[in-house]
Amino acid sequence: MSLDENTVIAIVEDDELVRASLAGLLRSFGIRAEAFSSAGDLLATDPDRFDCVVSDLQMPGMTGLDLRRVLSNRDKAVPVIIVTAYPERVSDVSRSDDGLHLLEKPVDSGQLIACIETVLGRGIEHQTSDGR
Protein backbone atom coordinates (compact mmCIF):
# COMPACT_ATOMS: atom_id res chain seq x y z
CA MET A 1 0.00 0.00 0.00
CA SER A 2 1.36 3.42 -0.87
CA LEU A 3 0.55 6.91 0.27
CA ASP A 4 -2.45 8.39 -1.54
CA GLU A 5 -5.12 11.07 -1.35
CA ASN A 6 -6.63 9.33 1.69
CA THR A 7 -3.47 9.97 3.68
CA VAL A 8 -3.64 13.21 5.66
CA ILE A 9 -0.44 14.70 7.07
CA ALA A 10 -0.18 17.68 9.41
CA ILE A 11 2.80 19.99 8.95
CA VAL A 12 3.78 21.99 12.06
CA GLU A 13 6.42 24.59 11.25
CA ASP A 14 6.82 28.17 12.45
CA ASP A 15 8.73 29.30 9.34
CA GLU A 16 6.11 30.20 6.74
CA LEU A 17 8.29 29.42 3.71
CA VAL A 18 9.38 26.03 5.05
CA ARG A 19 5.79 25.22 6.06
CA ALA A 20 4.49 26.03 2.57
CA SER A 21 7.36 24.13 0.96
CA LEU A 22 6.76 20.95 2.98
CA ALA A 23 3.00 21.08 2.38
CA GLY A 24 3.56 21.66 -1.35
CA LEU A 25 6.03 18.79 -1.51
CA LEU A 26 3.54 16.35 0.03
CA ARG A 27 0.75 17.60 -2.22
CA SER A 28 2.98 17.03 -5.25
CA PHE A 29 3.00 13.34 -4.25
CA GLY A 30 -0.82 13.34 -4.07
CA ILE A 31 -0.87 13.44 -0.27
CA ARG A 32 -3.30 15.71 1.55
CA ALA A 33 -1.41 18.09 3.82
CA GLU A 34 -2.64 20.67 6.31
CA ALA A 35 -0.18 23.23 7.64
CA PHE A 36 -0.02 24.78 11.12
CA SER A 37 2.28 27.52 12.39
CA SER A 38 2.53 26.09 15.92
CA ALA A 39 1.91 22.99 17.99
CA GLY A 40 -0.85 24.87 19.81
CA ASP A 41 -2.64 25.55 16.52
CA LEU A 42 -2.57 21.83 15.69
CA LEU A 43 -3.77 20.81 19.15
CA ALA A 44 -6.65 23.32 18.93
CA THR A 45 -8.05 21.19 16.09
CA ASP A 46 -8.71 17.45 16.13
CA PRO A 47 -5.19 16.00 15.73
CA ASP A 48 -6.60 12.45 15.69
CA ARG A 49 -7.79 13.01 12.11
CA PHE A 50 -4.20 13.04 10.88
CA ASP A 51 -2.31 9.91 9.88
CA CYS A 52 1.02 11.51 10.75
CA VAL A 53 2.52 14.81 11.89
CA VAL A 54 5.71 16.31 10.47
CA SER A 55 6.94 18.88 12.99
CA ASP A 56 9.84 21.27 13.32
CA LEU A 57 11.94 20.71 16.44
CA GLN A 58 12.54 24.30 17.57
CA MET A 59 9.43 26.47 17.66
CA PRO A 60 8.16 29.18 19.99
CA GLY A 61 6.04 27.70 22.76
CA MET A 62 5.83 23.92 22.46
CA THR A 63 8.74 22.16 20.73
CA GLY A 64 8.32 19.32 18.28
CA LEU A 65 9.46 16.82 20.93
CA ASP A 66 6.88 18.22 23.39
CA LEU A 67 4.19 17.88 20.73
CA ARG A 68 5.29 14.30 20.09
CA ARG A 69 4.91 13.50 23.81
CA VAL A 70 1.41 14.99 23.91
CA LEU A 71 0.26 13.13 20.80
CA SER A 72 1.75 9.82 21.95
CA ASN A 73 -0.33 9.97 25.15
CA ARG A 74 -3.67 10.32 23.35
CA ASP A 75 -6.12 7.47 22.73
CA LYS A 76 -5.01 7.41 19.10
CA ALA A 77 -1.24 7.86 19.11
CA VAL A 78 -0.43 9.91 16.01
CA PRO A 79 3.14 9.30 14.80
CA VAL A 80 5.38 12.37 14.66
CA ILE A 81 8.40 12.93 12.43
CA ILE A 82 10.74 15.65 13.68
CA VAL A 83 12.58 17.84 11.18
CA THR A 84 15.37 20.14 12.29
CA ALA A 85 18.25 22.21 11.04
CA TYR A 86 19.93 21.57 14.41
CA PRO A 87 20.09 17.79 15.03
CA GLU A 88 22.73 18.36 17.72
CA ARG A 89 19.98 19.94 19.87
CA VAL A 90 18.19 16.61 20.20
CA SER A 91 19.27 15.19 23.54
CA ASP A 92 20.88 11.79 23.90
CA VAL A 93 17.81 10.67 25.86
CA SER A 94 15.53 11.57 22.96
CA ARG A 95 17.88 9.96 20.44
CA SER A 96 17.77 6.68 22.38
CA ASP A 97 14.00 6.53 21.88
CA ASP A 98 13.48 3.86 19.21
CA GLY A 99 10.29 5.58 18.10
CA LEU A 100 11.98 8.90 17.29
CA HIS A 101 12.06 9.71 13.59
CA LEU A 102 14.40 12.63 12.91
CA LEU A 103 15.15 14.23 9.54
CA GLU A 104 17.66 17.01 8.99
CA LYS A 105 16.78 20.17 7.06
CA PRO A 106 16.84 20.74 4.22
CA VAL A 107 14.59 17.71 3.99
CA ASP A 108 15.14 15.37 1.04
CA SER A 109 11.77 14.55 -0.54
CA GLY A 110 12.57 10.86 -0.94
CA GLN A 111 13.66 10.55 2.69
CA LEU A 112 10.53 12.33 3.90
CA ILE A 113 8.18 10.10 1.90
CA ALA A 114 10.07 6.96 2.98
CA CYS A 115 9.93 8.06 6.62
CA ILE A 116 6.18 8.73 6.41
CA GLU A 117 5.64 5.31 4.82
CA THR A 118 7.70 3.71 7.60
CA VAL A 119 5.83 5.36 10.48
CA LEU A 120 2.52 4.46 8.86
CA GLY A 121 3.62 0.84 8.44
CA ARG A 122 3.59 1.13 4.67
CA GLY A 123 7.31 1.03 4.04
CA ILE A 124 9.03 -1.72 2.11
CA GLU A 125 10.11 -3.47 5.29
CA HIS A 126 6.45 -3.82 6.28
CA GLN A 127 5.14 -5.20 2.99
CA THR A 128 4.07 -8.79 2.60
CA SER A 129 5.43 -11.02 -0.13
CA ASP A 130 2.50 -10.13 -2.41
CA GLY A 131 3.39 -6.40 -2.19
CA ARG A 132 0.63 -5.31 0.21
- The answer to the question of residue 20 being in a domain is yes
Q: For residue 115, what are the domain limits?
A: 8-126
- The answer to the question of residue 66 being in a domain is yes
The CATH number that applies at residue 68 is: 3.40.50.2300
pLDDT in tens, 45-60: 999 999 999 999 999 9
- The answer to the question of residue 63 being in a domain is yes
Could you tell me the pTM of the whole model? 0.85
CA distance linking residue 8 with residue 105, whole number of Å = 22
Torsion of CA 90, 20, 111, 10, to 10 degrees: 70
pLDDT for 1 equals: 37
- The answer to the question of residue 132 being in a domain is no
Helix axis angle, 16-28 relative to 109-119, nearest 10°?
70
Total count of domains within the chain: 1
Contacts of 11 (CB under 8 A, 6+ apart): 19, 22, 23, 26, 33, 34, 35, 36, 53, 54, 55
pLDDT in tens, 13-47: 999 999 999 999 999 999 999 999 999 999 999 99
